[in-house]
Amino acid sequence: MAAASGSDRAQARSAGAQSTGAPPTSARWTGPAWTVRAAVRAFRRTHPEVGDEVCVALSGGADSLALTAAAVTEFADVTALVVDHGLQTGSDEVARSACQAAQRLGARSRALVVVVDPDGSGPEAAARTARYAALDASREGRPVLLAHTLDDQAETVLLGLGRGSGARSLRGMAAWDAPWGRPLLGVRATDTRAACRALGLDWWDDPHNVDPAFTRVRLRREVLPLLEDVLGGGVAEGLARTAELLRTDDDELDRLAAAVPVSGDGGLDVSVLEPLPTAVLTRVLRRWLLAHGCASPTYAHLSSVAALVTDWHGQGGVAVGGTGPDGSGVSAGRGRLVARRRHGKVVLEIDRASGAGT
C-alpha cells in the first residue's frame, strides 16, 4: 500500500482527534478561519524546505492559537512550544492552558520556563532574547512557526521609520528566515481573532499588549489608528507593502556587497571600494566589521569608516567597538578596536596610540 502524504496524515490525525470534540471541523474552515489556513498552506508551498514536521511558538493568544489550529491541518506533525517568561502572576497557568489547547487541537506541546534578565536592554528585548533562545534550544532541528501578523509587520516598519533606520530595518520581518517561519505576515490580527471565534477557540489576552508603557502598544492603539483615520485607511497594508518592496532591493544590494573581495590580510583595498555606489559600500563595510568582531555597527560607524574611502584627507582612525580582529578581545586597558586607512587599505587594529593613517 502506498505511503500517505504529509497532508493525508495531517487530515487523518485531525479527523481522529475530532472524536474528542476539540479540533475544528472542516465545515468551520470558512471566512477568516480559511484566510488563516490558506496563508499557512501558501507558506508551505512557497517554502517546501520547511518540511512536514514543525514547531509553533504558542503563547495562548489569538494569533498563535489560530496559527496552531491551521498548522495542525497543513503539516503532518506539529509541536507547540509554549514559553513561560515568568513575568506575570499566573504565567504558569497560562502556559499550562496553552499546552492543553494545543493538545486538544491535535498537536503535541511543551512548556518552556525561562529566566528573563533585562541586563540593561529593557524588558521587551530581554524577554524576546530569552524566548528565541528557548525556542531554538527546544526545536530539535525542526523549523519554528511564529504568529507575527501584518499588523506586527506594520508596527516594525513604523518603528524603523521613527528611528531613522535604513532598509535593513524597514524591510521588516521575513516570512522565512531559517529556522523561523512567519506564515501570517499577510493576515490581519482581526482575522486571527475572528478565526478563533469561528473555530470555537478561547484565547488569552496578554495584559502587556494593552500596557501603554510599551512603545509598540502605543503605536498599535494610538498612532496607527490615527494614521488610518487621517490617510483614509490602508496604512497597515501600505507599511507591510513597503517592507516587501525594500526587502527585494536590500537582498540585491546584499548580493552585490557579498561579491566584493577581502584581501588576504583581512583588509579592504581602497581601489576596490572607491568605485562602489554608497549603498553597496556601506553594506561591504558592515559585513566586514561584523566579521571582525564589531557586534553592532551603527550609522555613525559606517559613515565614518566610509569616509576613509570617499573623503580621505589623512584623518585618524574610527573607533568601532567590538571584540577585535579574530575575536581577540579588547578591554579598556588594552585599547580600542579602530578602523584605519593604511597603505591603500582599510584595516582594523587594536589602537593603543592616536594618530592618522597613511
The predicted-structure confidence for 25-52, as pLDDT tens digits, reads as follows 565 899 999 999 999 999 999 999 999 9
Are 23 and 105 spatial neighbours (Cβ–Cβ below 8 Å)?
yes
Residue type, 94: V
- Domain definitions of the chain by residue range: 6-147+182-210, 268-351
The predicted-structure confidence for 88-138, as pLDDT tens digits, reads as follows 888 899 999 999 999 999 999 999 998 888 776 677 788 889 999 999 999
Query: Which pTM was predicted?
Result: 0.83
60 is in an annotated binding site: yes
Residue 326 burial (10 A CB sphere; 0-12, 13-18, 19+): exposed
61 is in an annotated binding site: yes
219 pLDDT band, cuts 50/70/90, is very high
- For position 12, what pLDDT does the model report? 38
How far is residue 78 from each of residues 19, 67, 147, 198, measured CA to CA in Å? 19, 11, 14, 21
Backbone phi, psi, residue 299, to 5°: -60, -40
Q: Could you write out the DSSP letters of every residue in 178-190?
A: TTEE-TTTTS-HH
User: How far apart, in whole angstroms, are the C-alpha atoms of residue 74 and residue 67?
Assistant: 10
C-alpha cell at 172: 521588516
325 pLDDT band, cuts 50/70/90, is low
C-alpha cell at 336: 580600542
348 pLDDT band, cuts 50/70/90, is very high
- For position 335, what pLDDT does the model report? 67
The predicted-structure confidence for 223-236, as pLDDT tens digits, reads as follows 999 999 999 999 99
Architecture of the 6-147+182-210 domain = 3-Layer(aba) Sandwich (3.40)
Residue 100, by phi and psi: left (phi above 0), alpha (psi -120 to 50) or beta?
Answer: alpha
- For position 353, what pLDDT does the model report? 54
- For position 9, what pLDDT does the model report? 41
- For position 118, what pLDDT does the model report? 73
59 is in an annotated binding site: yes
Q: Which residues of 9-21 are buried (b: 16+ CB within 10 A; e: fewer)?
A: ebbebbeebeeee
Residue 20 has pLDDT above 70, yes or no: no
User: How far apart, in whole angstroms, are the C-alpha atoms of residue 348 and residue 237?
Assistant: 43
The predicted-structure confidence for 179-213, as pLDDT tens digits, reads as follows 999 999 999 999 999 999 999 999 999 888 888 98
- Average model confidence (pLDDT) across the chain: 87
User: How far apart, in whole angstroms, are the C-alpha atoms of residue 159 and residue 259?
Assistant: 31
Backbone phi, psi, residue 316, to 5°: -75, -175
- Report the 10 Å Cβ neighbour count for 309: 20
Nearest residue to 171 via CA among 254, 63, 61: 254
Name the least confident of 14-18, 55-59, 111-115. Answer: 14-18
Residue type, 35: T
62 is in an annotated binding site: yes
User: How far apart, in whole angstroms, are the C-alpha atoms of residue 357 and residue 340?
Assistant: 6
Backbone phi, psi, residue 221, to 5°: -100, -20
- For position 166, what pLDDT does the model report? 87
- 125: Cβ contacts below 8 Å, ≥ 6 apart: none
Are 330 and 351 spatial neighbours (Cβ–Cβ below 8 Å)?
no
